[in-house]
Structure formats: structure tokens, C-alpha cells
Amino acid sequence: MSKLRVMITAAGTGIGAAIARAFADEGHRVHASDIDEEALSRLNDDYPEIVTTPVDVRDEDAIDTWFDDTVDAVDGLDVLVNNAGIAGPTATVEDMDFEGWRECLTVCLDAQFLTCRRAVPLMKDQRSGCIINISSTAGLFGLPFRTPYAAAKWGVIGLTKSLAVEVGRWNIRVNAICPGAVEGDRMDRVIAAESRTSGRSQAELRAEYTKGVSLNRFVRPQEIAALALFLASPAAAMISGQAIAVDGNTETYHTE
């Protein structure tokens, strides 16, 4: 596979960092952004070849500047990975504040629109490109107490499928990856928040999450990265408009 020009949001830690490392390990030219400058610095310590830029994806101007600088440096774009997201508030819908709802949709959905809006003209000009939007299995099933997050992730799938139809004739492919429960700090925070809301212990909730997965464990970030790398490869040349779960076959979600 020829060397690709890759832009990834929220690549300082977790899934985003795993994706950045996977592309860099294959020799691709990776440009990573994140709101967390310390996380980007740690990524650079391990991978000095990755170009890192602090970007708050809630800021349209910051996204535009990142795209302008990156495209000037590499003269095009082959792969965009939209990974930025937040867990959003954990509460019943009647106790949900609108500010928390809006922020979750802004980071998880609006930011993907803003980056796609910049990436598509570049990919049309070269008549090729691959956009990978990170959704969630919450975008495939309902998720009680997490309505903003689930709504945003369903929106990501709608964006993905609609955009794939719109840009296919320029040989641009658009797919969504839907991770299940991914091991790491973020999932730890989600379980802690759900514990506070539901009154159930973190150990009980973690066991319930795991029990609902046929393969009986959480997803590893590297497994999400492996799919991203495949979707960007020639082997996936006829895969577009898909929402692909990487979840070990998640069978159930919490209902209490």
C-alpha cells in the first residue's frame, strides 16, 4: 500500500492514539490533533514522526487552521479519521440539562461535520479518499441514561451513510466503526458515572457490561485501529456506507 496522508482527531490517547500508532507503524504520514497537549506530547515521545497539533474540535476556526496547515504541508489528504468524542452526561432524560446535551452533540457529531466539510473538496480534487467516522454500538442500540451520547452516535451513522452516497462517484469511501465497551480510562469513567447515577457498584456494572458481550471481554483499542487500517487499504476498496461493529457481539445493554 502506498504511503497515505492521514488526519486523526482526538489522537492523544485511547482509540485515537492506537489508530495514529497503527498508521505510523505502516509508514504513513500521520497528522494527529487533540485538545490535550500533554497527551500529544506523550504520543510524540514514542512517535516523533507523527505531526501533532492541539485542536479543540468545538472551535470551527481551529479546525480550519489545522486543515490549512496540514494540507499546505502534505498537499492533499487520503484518510480522515473522526475520533473525537465525549461521554456526555449520565442521567435520566428528565434530569438532563440542555447544556450537557448540546456539548455532547457538538463534540461527537458537529465536529465530524466540520472536518468532513473540509476533507471532501480535497478528496474530490484527487478523486480518491477514505473517511472513517468513529460511532459506537450506542449508535446501533438504545442506551439508557446516556441519551445525548446515543443520539450523537446514531447521528454519526446517518452522516456516514448519507455522505457515502453523496461522494461515491469521486471514489471517496465513508464508513463508520462502532466500538463496543473499550478497555481504558474512558470506560472506567463511564462506569463510575453510571454507578453514581444508578446507585449500583462499579464492579457490578463492569460485570454486567462484560456478561453482555459474547466474547466475554472489553474491546482493546488496537482492535479498533486494525479495522481503521483495513478500511483505508486497497483491500477495502468496495466497502463504503457501512457501520461496522467491533464489540465482541454485544447482546444486551443496561436497562436498570
Calpha distance 194→38 (Å, rounded): 27
Cell of 139: 449508535
Does residue 149 carry a catalytic annotation?
Answer: yes
185: left (phi over 0), alpha (psi -120 to 50) or beta: alpha
DSSP 188-230: HHHHHHHHHHH---HHHHHHHHHHTBTTSSPBPHHHHHHHHHH
> Does residue 241 sit in helix, strand or coil?
coil
Beta-bridge mates of residue 175: 132
Q: What is the DSSP string of 45-101?
A: HH-TTSEEEE--TT-HHHHHHHHHHHHHHHSS-SEEEE--------S-GGG--HHHH
Q: How far is CA 75 from the centre of its chain?
A: 24
For 102, residues 6+ apart whose C-beta sits below 8 A from its C-beta are none
Q: Which of 47, 149, 209, 253 is catalytic?
A: 149
Active site residues: 149
